[in-house]
Structure 1
Amino acid sequence: FIGGSITEMNGYRPMVCAMLEKRFPLTDFTFTQAGISSTCSDTGAFRLARDVLSKGPLDMLFVEFAVNDDQDGQKSLQNALRGMEGVIAQARKHNPKVDIVMTFFANENILDHLGKNKNPPSIAAHSQVAEHYGVSVNHLAQELSDLINAGKMDWKKYGGVHPNQYGNTMCASMIANSLLDIWSKPIAKNGQSKAHPQVSPLDPFSYVSGRFLDFDQIEIDQSWKKGIPDWPKENKGKVRSRFLGAPFIYANQAGAKLKVKFNGTAIGAYMLSGPDTAIIRCTIDGKESKEIDTLHRHSGFNYPMTVMFFNELSNSGHVLELEILKNRKGRMREGGEALRVLHFTGN
């Protein structure tokens, strides 16, 4: 199970697990909880190998990122597609026979779009990926929208962005009914499992080779540290407990520089964006440069997010140079000169 907080919470996930154990009592299941609150499909593509594929054989994958891509990341259709395609393509490469269930959860913006017979960018993108790869879709958001418009349900009863017991039961029941219907059909005596058809990526820059880069690949100057920060002495702002013992590459002064040598088409960073987060300058291959403000658009605490520096490069060797810039006025919040990177991301 991979997704954001809806997956991480004890909601639909344990209900689906219980259904599977009841349906197949002789099967020794291994369930992997790979939900991380506030993360989007691009982060999912970069962490899939670590958080899911490394756990062993993958027979079934449940994925949800529609709300996160819409709300936390405010992803364009293109960026939502590249992230979700990265997740699905990597899962299928790991096991061509893996079956996948993609659920579209809801927030108020998604419901507003669906109520006007429109798809928000995240669902439009994820739907394209699902159709291309033959992935089963559990369109909970559409079902919820239809019930609300018919006067048979309301947002509060469902539980909101993070569904309550009623909302999660609704989701788990939709998944169970779909699977049980498929499993009720007879299997031929000589029936065998088979691989899903191989398909080319929808977007040549999707994160189908998404990964976390090793710390050893990062060349740092004396301004940086590699290790577990001393929270809160070295950092400002609140931080979630899951990150307190995690190692970072981090610095807190303008002029701090680092260099990353990598192969592929994209480079970015999975980081915590805090209240004192910096503006950075990123330069690729000594040629193209850009400034990026790493403050999060609507959070003032240390918020996990992936920032892509360059994502349409030639598929070859590259060098990224990164520098923390002096803080300046005119940003969305005061900010600072800190950068806390959990992992640099490559594709």
Structure 2
Amino acid sequence: MSATTQAGMPEYQPVKAEHFQPRDGLGNVLEKLRNGERVNIAYLGGSITAANGWRVKTREWFQEEFPKADIHEIHAAIGGTGSDLGVFRVQRDALRHEPDLLFVEFAVNDGGASPERIWKAMEGIVRQTWAADPTTDICFVYTYRVGYENDLRDGNCPRAAGAMEMLADHYQIPSINFAKKVVEMEQADELVFKADSAPANGLIHFSKDGVHPLGGGHQIYADMVAQGVELMSESKPVDHQSKLGSTFVEDHWQAAKMVPVDKSMLSGDWEQLPEDSTLARRFGNRMGALWEATTPGAKLTFKFRGSTAKLYDLLGPDGGQVIISVDGTPRSKPVPRFDSYCTYHRIATLSLANNLDADETHTVTVEVHPEQPDRQSVAFRLKNPEEELKAPKYQGTCVRFGQILILGDIVSE
């Protein structure tokens, strides 16, 4: 499965889809469950996992199946995000809570990413997890979206899941293919992928949008987890430490990390949002302390040694735009913190620097631009855009930053 080029680097090959790939199984967490110990189960993924669906149903199944165990859920899913953010946030959102089992769900949100990018991020997640605790078991799960049936009907995984399978095979990580089951049920006339209303004849209505399962779809996912765990019931405990001795891709993102914005990095007019403010209550659990600037010229400046830097920030209707400079060279255009979805605030990432010399120290500056971005991209979502875009809600040059995301390390002054 893990085909390589002559240079020893992976080369993507189509991967046969299987419902379950037990590989090294879940022996560590199963032993704790059977012994009635405390067990922490983490769910890292996108909106499909963030919904109160298969995540909640599987946690409940584990508790019913192992009633003596003290089971706790670690909710580490954020809608609209893939493994390229997951690798930066896995420590804060999952690993610091000491999971015994980590489910990783990014096969849909990584659908447009290249196998090479998927390998870097997913391998970073795996290696960070086992560097923190080599007894933590990991399980990859592959969800469905409309379009994935094309590959699955031919017997193959969609490309994102296939790339993840190649990595899982290298590290002997078990996987469960939800999407294969969904497609089989549709072919057997038991399910419809997408419909605005419930279909006749008792068919399962999987989703309204072709991506996000309704109750019946989430139950299919939960049932697949239960079957997979039962299939792996005889797996033995494994110390995963030895698996870190070889890599799948040399430039994996194990070094990915989040670093809080420090007050010493800020100049100009900045405010740390109070914990009881609306945005801090909504996003603080993921982003930590939030810093806000509304005045043009306010700057964030930091130095790091590494290859990549991003900002964990918020987009919103009052979002401004920023001037980004790396090692003294500014970008040709300001970057808006506003887009066509900005009738509300949401978590985003702002790319600052990529593919730099990882052995050098780099200086990054992000400055609030004096002009607002063009708001017309959101007009089609408004009932009366001409008037609504004049309202205070859509005015401002506001930026809000939470964490710095880097492949490397912050360099103190």
Q: Please, what TM-score do these two structures have when normalized by structure 1? A: 0.81
Q: Pick from 242, 256, 280: which aligns with 2:282?
A: 242
**In structure 2, do the counterparts of structure 1 residues 163 and 328 end up closer, same or farther at CA, with 3 Å as the change threshold?**
closer
1:22 Cα deviation after fit: 3.2
How far did residue 183 of structure 1 move? Answer: 0.9
Between the aligned partners of 1:225 and 1:100, the Cα distance in structure 2 is 40
Q: Deviations over 1:183-203 (max 9, x none)?
A: 147x6xxxx633252254444
Q: 1:228 aligns with which of 266, 269, 274?
A: 274
Could you tell me which of 242, 253, 265 is aligned with 2:307? Answer: 265
User: 1:227 deviation in Å?
Assistant: 2.9
Identify if the C-alpha distance between structure 1 residues 45 and 183 changes in structure 2 by more than 3 Å, giving closer, same or farther: same
What is aligned with 2:10? Answer: none
Task: State the partner residue of 1:10.
Answer: 52
1:331-342 residue pairs with structure 2 within 5 A?
332-333=377-378, 337-342=397-402
Specify the SS of the correspondent of 1:93: helix
Give the conservation status (yes or no) of the 8 Å contact 1:75–1:121.
Answer: no
Number of equivalenced pairs: 332
Counterparts of 2:164 and 2:260, CA distance in 1: 29
Instruction: State whether structure 2 residue 270 is matched by structure 1 residue 207.
Output: no
The residue matched to 1:337 in structure 2 has which SS? Answer: coil
Preserved CA contact (<8 Å) 1:296 1:303: no
1:307-346 matches, cutoff 5 A: 307-316=350-359, 317-325=361-369, 326-327=371-372, 329=374, 332-333=377-378, 337-346=397-406
- Match for 1:60: what amino acid? L
Structure 1 stretch displaced more, 78-87 or 115-124:
115-124
Q: Which letter does structure 1 place at the counterpart of 2:403?
A: H
Question: Deviation string for 1:15-73 (max 9, x for gaps)?
Answer: 222332333333333332222233322222222111211113x3211111223334xxx
Question: Is 1:179 matched up with 2:179?
Answer: no
| C-alpha distance 60-302 of structure 1, shift in aligned 2 (>3 A) | same
Instruction: Please tell me whether the aligned partners of residues 38 and 305 of structure 1 are also in contact (alpha carbons under 8 angstroms).
Output: no
CA drift of 1:81 comes to 3.6
| Cα distance in 2, alignment partners of residues 230 and 327 from structure 1 | 27
Question: Residue 95 of structure 2 is aligned with which of 22, 34, 53?
Answer: 53
Q: What residue in structure 2 maps to residue 235 of structure 1?
A: none
Instruction: Identify if the C-alpha distance between structure 1 residues 263 and 102 changes in structure 2 by more than 3 Å, giving closer, same or farther.
Output: same
Larger radius of gyration: 2
AA aligned opposite 1:266: T
Cα distance change of structure 1 residues 283 and 120 upon mapping to structure 2, 3 Å threshold: farther
Q: Which amino acid aligns with 1:182?
A: M
Aligned residue for 1:228, secondary structure, equals coil
Change (3 A) 1:125 1:199: farther
Q: Distance in 2 between matches of 1:202 and 1:170?
A: 32
Aligned match for 2:84, one of 21, 42, 54: 42
CA distance in 1, matches of 2:223, 2:244: 31
Whether contact under 8 Å (2:300, 2:366) holds in the other structure is yes
Q: 1:174 offset after TM fit, Å?
A: 1.1
Aligned equivalents of 1:303 and 1:168: distance in 2? Answer: 25
Judge conservation of contact 2:326–2:365 (CA < 8 Å) in 1.
Answer: yes
Code of the residue aligned with 2:137 in structure 1: it is D
1:163 matched residue in structure 2: 213
- What code does the residue aligned with 2:349 have? T
What CA deviation, in whole Å up to 9, does each residue of 1:225-261 have, x standing for no partner? 23338967xxxxxx69622786312222433322012
Q: Is the 8 A contact 2:124 2:254 kept in 1?
A: yes
Offset of residue 90 of structure 1: 0.9
**Alignment RMSD, CA only?**
3.2
Q: Distance in 1 between matches of 2:300 and 2:118?
A: 29
Query: Equivalents in 2 of 1:78, 1:307: separation in Å?
Result: 21
Correspondence list, 1:140-159, <5 A: 140-156=178-194, 157-159=205-207
Q: CA deviation at 1:269?
A: 1.0
Structure 2 CA distance for aligned equivalents of residues 85 and 309 of structure 1: 23
* Alpha carbons 1:104, 1:123 under 8 Å: kept: yes
Q: 1:165 to 1:77 in 2, by over 3 A?
A: same
Equivalent residue letter for 1:136: P
Match of 1:28 in 2: 70
Say whether the 8 Å CA contact 1:267–1:346 is kept in structure 2. Answer: yes
**Kept after mapping to 1: 8 A contact 2:304/2:363:** yes
Q: CA deviation at 1:180?
A: 0.8
Gaps of 5+ in 2: 1-42, 195-204, 380-393, 408-413
